[in-house]
Structure 1
Amino acid sequence: MKILLVQHLYFINGSGGTEKICSFLANSFVNNGHQVEIATNENISGKAIFKLHSLVKVTNIYSPDLIQKNQIPISNYSGSNPFNWLIHKIRKKYAKAYNSILKMSMKGEQNLFVYNLERRAKAWKTYIDEVKPDVIITMSIGSLLEITYNNEITVPIIDSVNGRPDYDYTNIFGGRKPFEVKLLKNSFQNLAGVQLLFAGYSDYLPDCFVGKVAVIPNPVPRIKEFVNHFISKDRYKVIHIARLDMACKQQHLAIESFAKLAPQYINWDFELWGVGSDMQRLQKQITDLNMEDRIFLKGFTEDPIQKLKEADIFIFPSKYEGFGLALAEAMSAGLPAIGFKSCSGVNEIIKHNETGFLVNDNIELCVCLEKLMVSPALRDQLGKNAKISIEDFSEESISEKWQKFVQEIVYSSAVTKNIRI
């Protein structure tokens, strides 16, 4: 079977959860005898960050010949140099004027969006017709929209929903125009199947979706050697691993909580692993709190499992998640975890007072963090429970569920078309 995985943006050089799952799926399908290709459409050079089987093909369909009418990105200047501030301000005014004229020439932002989308979709259709896959797996609803807009794709399509479905087609977190929401929602009609991370997420599918549903969590590697919480150390470590994104991951709340406790617990440090657009803002927060010798932004790691095994507590203060993959990996390493009770994808994984703590606010976060810092016995109890709870997410089990779902979708499609397979 020929399987095409589509992640239209961020796969190249991407180190996030979606890229990790895309790579896992590709390797899993190849190991089960399938022909696999990953396709993206990015004006960028680089490579896949996560290790891929040698038989997995990665194709970037980007072409500079594809006409796009793009607005100039607008951002605020975060530095303190007055000359650079003035230059940035001039460029910002120019960008606003340019964008305004562009939207006027296209008779509105919606027409501009559709103009660009339509041309990218045509490029995808040409590529898909050449590859002739038996099934397509899109890694987001955005990728689904890219390949299906005004296109008739006869190949069955499965969407891997790496979050709660309504995160993908609503404006819950702001930034999406009504026409984008409508297009994204309508794209569900093109699906033969959807993979959801948790059974409860089916409540968030749009009414227009009529395909099959499979509940398949993300895979979590088995970690044989896990944390021993009774070993005496010179220094102990709270750890966090995620993209540095204050709006979603809310690292600033964890930094604030640890900073309050740090003067009392002088042999504890806090390490944050990851990269992202808010690195400078978080570093400024650390500097303003005078915590540079206790709180560290460590950057990207190629071996997150080893970092987890060196830690004592995992903190994960996200506002929203699909499936907290780093959280699950931390629990697999035997770390007790703290997250917010209101966060989907965290409240499905952490069991309060059993594998960690689910808190309502930053005050409770601070209280629960202190409970774990003072008690190796509590860390050990919750950490052992956490490791056991994650065994349901083994890579072998998840791979088997994906194989079964893909075969079911391809078979159903063939029956519908009266094709012998």
Structure 2
Amino acid sequence: MKILLIQHLNFLNGSGGTEKICTFLANGFYNVGHEVEIATCQNIDGKPVFPLNTGVKITNIFSDKIHQTELKPLFNYKGYSPIKWIKYKIKKKIAKKANKEILKRMGGAEGLFKDNLRNRAQAWKSYIELQQPDIIITMSVSSVLEITFENKYRIPIVNSVNGRPDYDYSDILGYRSPFEMDLLRNAYKSLAGIQILFESYRDFLPQTFQGKMSVIPNPVPQFGNDEIVEHKGSKHKYKIINVASLANHCKQQLLAIEAFAAVSKKYPEWELHFWGEGDDFNFLNDRIKTLDLDDKIFLNGFTDDPVSKLKDSDIFIFPSKYEGFPLALTEAMSSGLPVLGLSNCSGVNELIDHSLNGFLAIDNDELAVYLERLIQNSELRSIMGKNGHTKMKKFTPESVIACWAFFLGQMTN
């Protein structure tokens, strides 16, 4: 079978969960004998971040021939020079006038969006017809829209949902215009099938979806019972860890900082370590300095070996606002760490069994209470870590690929 995986943005140089799962699926399908290609459309040079089998083909269809009408960027001068302020003020006024003319010519924001989308979709149509895959797997509903806008295919399309489904087509997580949400909902009509991560996510699919559905979780790395974190015995330093992009609006690292700050003076041997990159580095770093905890809280940057960082830690804290099937959390649990999250966070509240393998807090005050409880009790850390390790055993990579293979077989028979 020839399988085409499409992640139209962010695959090249991307280190997020979607890129990780796209790589996992490509490797998994290739290893069981399928011909596999990953396609993207990115105006950058780059390569995959996660290890990819050399037999998997990667194609970036981006071309200057795909015409895109761009609005002029608007810049606000943040310096102190009066001359430069005037200069940037004039440039901004000129750009605003140009943008107004562009939008008028294109029929407003909706017309501009659709025209650019139409040109990209035509490029995708030409590429897909040339490749003639047996099945297409899209890594987001946005990718579905990219290839199906004003296009029809006889090839079955299956979408992989890497979050709660409504996050993909609504404005629940941020601003999407009404016309964009309508386009995304209508894109579901083109799907032969969809994969969701938890049974409860079925309720968040739009009514426009009429294809087949399968619940398939994400894969979790597996470790032997003798490979997980050992919580017995004393150490000179203990580590609380968070692995996530530094995007506070979603990952809410500030809550972890505040919870740790509330108890840290009583436990000088404990540290809080963040692994990940993102736009909120300076924001979080400033808060750490304000709390005078820069000798206890560390923003360590990107790691290409998160599992080794997890196994060198004692507690995993993950106060995200929303998730799908959080890979870092499952890796922490598989490694034998007790885990902390928020009870109203999707995905997190599916994986953490309160008081069994970790704690689900209702707010930041409770997060600090549960954090201190784990700090104080190594036996509790050990019990919860082992319980989490046991729960993750059902999410083996082999079983996930087998579920996907069965589901794709239903789509092509």
Q: TM-score range by the shorter chain?
A: over 0.9
After superposition, the Cα gap between the structure-2 partners of 1:116 and 1:301, relative to the gap in structure 1 and judged at 3 Å, is: same
Residue 10 (structure 1) aligns with: 10
Query: Where do residues 295-334 of structure 1 align in structure 2 (5 Å cutoff)?
Result: 295-334=297-336
After superposition, the Cα gap between the structure-2 partners of 1:364 and 1:58, relative to the gap in structure 1 and judged at 3 Å, is: same
In structure 2, what is the Cα distance between the partners aligned to 1:307 and 1:91? 47
Deviation at 1:104, TM superposition (A): 2.3
1:82 equivalent to 2:43? Answer no
Give the partner amino acid of 1:359.
A
In structure 1, what is the Cα distance between the partners aligned to 2:75 and 2:337? 38
Deviation at 1:10, TM superposition (A): 0.2
After superposition, the Cα gap between the structure-2 partners of 1:384 and 1:96, relative to the gap in structure 1 and judged at 3 Å, is: farther
TM-score after normalising by structure 1: 0.94
After superposition, the Cα gap between the structure-2 partners of 1:330 and 1:126, relative to the gap in structure 1 and judged at 3 Å, is: same
Residue 179 (structure 1) aligns with: 179
In structure 1, what is the Cα distance between the partners aligned to 2:88 and 2:300? 29
In structure 1, what is the Cα distance between the partners aligned to 2:376 and 2:304? 31
What do residues 62-111 of structure 1 show as CA deviations (whole Å, max 9, x unaligned)?
A: 0012110122455777x7x5349947766655554443332222121000
Residue 147 (structure 1) aligns with: 147
Query: Where do residues 5-404 of structure 1 align in structure 2 (5 Å cutoff)?
Result: 5-73=5-73, 81-83=79-81, 86=85, 95-224=95-224, 225-404=227-406
What do residues 219-255 of structure 1 show as CA deviations (whole Å, max 9, x unaligned)?
A: 0010231100113211000000011111111111111
In structure 2, what is the Cα distance between the partners aligned to 1:13 and 1:143? 18
In structure 1, what is the Cα distance between the partners aligned to 2:110 and 2:137? 27
In structure 2, what is the Cα distance between the partners aligned to 1:6 and 1:407? 19
Structure 1 SS opposite 2:54: coil
Deviation at 1:171, TM superposition (A): 1.0
TM-score after normalising by structure 2: 0.96
In structure 2, what is the Cα distance between the partners aligned to 1:136 and 1:400? 17
Deviation at 1:256, TM superposition (A): 1.2
After superposition, the Cα gap between the structure-2 partners of 1:163 and 1:89, relative to the gap in structure 1 and judged at 3 Å, is: farther
Residue identity over aligned pairs, in percent, reads 53
What do residues 319-371 of structure 1 show as CA deviations (whole Å, max 9, x unaligned)?
A: 01111110000000000111111011100000000010011111001110110
Give the partner amino acid of 1:99.
N
Give the partner amino acid of 1:118.
R
What do residues 283-318 of structure 1 show as CA deviations (whole Å, max 9, x unaligned)?
A: 111122211111111111000000000000001111
In structure 1, what is the Cα distance between the partners aligned to 2:12 and 2:358? 35
What do residues 39-62 of structure 1 show as CA deviations (whole Å, max 9, x unaligned)?
A: 000001110000001100010000
1:409 aligns with one of 400, 407, 411: 411
Deviation at 1:183, TM superposition (A): 0.2
Q: How many residues align?
A: 409
Structure 2 SS opposite 1:118: helix
In structure 2, what is the Cα distance between the partners aligned to 1:93 and 1:338? 49
In structure 2, what is the Cα distance between the partners aligned to 1:404 and 1:193? 12
After superposition, the Cα gap between the structure-2 partners of 1:262 and 1:98, relative to the gap in structure 1 and judged at 3 Å, is: farther
Q: Which ranges in structure 1 are unaligned for 5 or more consecutive residues?
A: 412-421
In structure 2, what is the Cα distance between the partners aligned to 1:121 and 1:261? 53
Q: Considering only aligned residues, what root-mean-square deviation do their CA atoms show, in Å? A: 1.7
Give the partner amino acid of 1:367.
V
Give the partner amino acid of 1:82.
Y
In structure 2, what is the Cα distance between the partners aligned to 1:193 and 1:267? 51
